[in-house]
Chains A and B, each alone.
Chain A
Amino acid sequence: MFMGYSLGEIGSIFAMQAFAGLILFSVFVLMALGLAIIFGQMGVINMAHGEFMILGAYMTFLTSHLFQTYAPQAFAGYFFVAMLVAFVASGAIGLAVEWLLIKRLYKRPLDTLLATWGLSLIMQQAFRSIFGAREVGVQLPDWMMGSLQVTDTIEVQINGLFVMTLTLMITAVVALLLFRSRWGLQVRAVVANRVMADAAGIDTRRIDRLTFGLGCGIAGIAGSAFTMIGSTSPTAGQAYIVDTFLVVVFGGAQSLLGTIASAFTISQSQSTLEFFLTGSMAKVTTLLIVIGLLMLRPQGLFVLKVRK
């Protein structure tokens, strides 16, 4: 597959595809973070996670429009406002969904799969009714456009760099919350042993609601990032949900580091292989690698070892 390229060209291709992979990696990480903390803590597989992401993307689209219409002079900074709006909107809907739907299904974990899948269909149709079936794109402010010329043959996009910085920051904040805050302490206790956490005085239901809201909110931010690499349509979330599940399972649902490492592996192999093979062959190869590794390590990449 390397026929017809010079060695230098192959180097450049790898570098640029790796960089493109890093943007995909950012979206995966943001999606998987939310999915992993929700699945790790509550055992709920949120099939509507992709739609929460798309909700964030639509919020970004709306915010950019509002800025263009009412405050064009502040357009350069709209993206930061949009991220906040996306987080709050997805988080608030997440809280409401937990309260109306998920809360009632904790004793039937498999049914949450069906219920959230139904929710995803409802959300898709709601997007279609409200925003229309056509794809929408977001206008980027000038400073995010263009790319940096690293060498003659390698260039990196500025918005890609921005998305990655954003992802690193959000991951750091989530890690801090999980390992340094009272909420994180309670989440980890519930993940370890729900019944005992309750008997130690932790209001597990309240923690569940907060976690679900936060997970969905992060998906909203992922949606903001997503607007830079893809166009937003009612069903665009579907394309990402399967890959994100793969990331979560491969990484080990309870490990933040595992989630990041697995998002990296999957996005990089996907992106690099896509250039040389077709899109579907790239997917097949990635899946084969993941399946092979999961056979060797069924518990995921990173799992802490302690005495039982």
Chain B
Amino acid sequence: MLDVHNLSAAYGQSEVLHNVDFSVAPGEIVAVVGRNGMGKSTLMKSLIGIIPPRSGEVKVDGTDVSTLASHARVARGLAYVPQGRQIFGTMTVRENIETGLVVTGKTLIPHEIFVLFPILKEFEKRRGGNLSGGQQQQLAIARALASDPKILLLDEPTEGIQPSIIKDIARVLRQIRDMTNMCIVVCEQVLSFVLDVADRILVMENGRIVHSAMREGVDEAAIARFLAV
């Protein structure tokens, strides 16, 4: 479903992502872990097209999207939940979700979104900026789901969110996967969340993927060492 081949990305002259290779199968949840500054967010941003890649390919269903603008990638089936949520604060909850709907040409928000996030239905007329952090995270995921993606990218969805809601988010992500057979790529630093949600774990160091392990039989201590500061 998602094939990343030899992907490199740079800020100006300094290359921070070096020849990254990985694939994600439909219905698979892959977690990318690593310390701060190792290139996780850069990887996410170059997958969605906020940072143009220096070289390499990002294939969705076999077609390369690496030269397209973000919105065109969304039309091809990628969806992005950014770090810090970045919902549109002055717009209502409903309007926030509708921005994701634009690319599909539909006018009605799919019923399933409100089934996954009942709180958004309840608060649909409130301004996004007035929700709590956890609710904003749900809103950001709902906005991404509204574009009917095949691949969902999440950048540190647990950042600044209380532990009980982190558990909810893990549950919802698995639920989305079970419902739609979507592939999900999530960047994380919180190991418990990663172990809770992922089928496969990739470890990033200095802009490269240095370790890959299936969830079953993963050596938690080894992963934890990569995360230790």
Tell yes or no: A108 within 8 A of B by CB.
no
Among the listed stretches B23-31, B67-75, B174-182, B194-202, which one makes contact with chain A, having 4 or more residues with CB under 8 Å of it? B67-75
A193-B88, A306-B89 known; A201 vs B69 contact (CB < 8 Å)? no
- Residues from chain A with a CB closer than 8 A to the CB of B89 are 192, 306-308
Tell yes or no: A289 within 8 A of B by CB.
no
- CA–CA, A18 and B107, complex, Å: 45
Tell yes or no: B147 within 8 A of A by CB.
yes
Separation in Å of the B102 CB from the closest CB of chain A? Answer: 5
A196-B86, A306-B130 known; A201 vs B75 contact (CB < 8 Å)? yes
Tell yes or no: A203 within 8 A of B by CB.
yes
- Residues from chain B with a CB closer than 8 A to the CB of A195 are 50, 70
Q: Which residue of B lies closest to A179 (CB)?
A: B95
- Residues from chain A with a CB closer than 8 A to the CB of B128 are 306
Separation in Å of the B99 CB from the closest CB of chain A? Answer: 5
Assess whether A192 is in contact with B102, with CB atoms less than 8 Å apart: no
- Residues from chain A with a CB closer than 8 A to the CB of B143 are 200
Assess whether A306 is in contact with B90, with CB atoms less than 8 Å apart: yes
Assess whether B80 is in contact with A199, with CB atoms less than 8 Å apart: yes
Q: Which residue of A lies closest to B131 (CB)?
A: A307
Tell yes or no: B116 within 8 A of A by CB.
no
Assess whether A204 is in contact with B88, with CB atoms less than 8 Å apart: no
- CA–CA, A200 and B80, complex, Å: 7
Tell yes or no: B43 within 8 A of A by CB.
no
- Residues from chain B with a CB closer than 8 A to the CB of A201 are 70-71, 74-75, 79, 99-100, 102-104, 147
Assess whether B74 is in contact with A199, with CB atoms less than 8 Å apart: yes
Assess whether B71 is in contact with A192, with CB atoms less than 8 Å apart: no
Tell yes or no: A283 within 8 A of B by CB.
no
Residues of A267-308 whose CB lies within 8 A of B: 304, 306-308
Tell yes or no: A188 within 8 A of B by CB.
yes
Q: Which residue of A lies closest to B85 (CB)?
A: A196
- CA–CA, A304 and B129, complex, Å: 10
Tell yes or no: B39 within 8 A of A by CB.
no
Tell yes or no: A96 within 8 A of B by CB.
no
Q: Which residue of B lies closest to A189 (CB)?
A: B99
- Residues from chain A with a CB closer than 8 A to the CB of B144 are 200
Q: Which residue of A lies closest to B88 (CB)?
A: A192
Provide a sorted-by-A list of 23 A–B residue pairs whose CB atoms are within 8 angstroms.
Answer: A182-B102, A186-B99, A192-B88, A195-B70, A198-B49, A198-B50, A198-B69, A198-B71, A200-B74, A200-B80, A200-B102, A200-B143, A200-B147, A201-B70, A201-B99, A201-B104, A202-B71, A203-B71, A203-B72, A306-B90, A307-B89, A307-B131, A308-B129
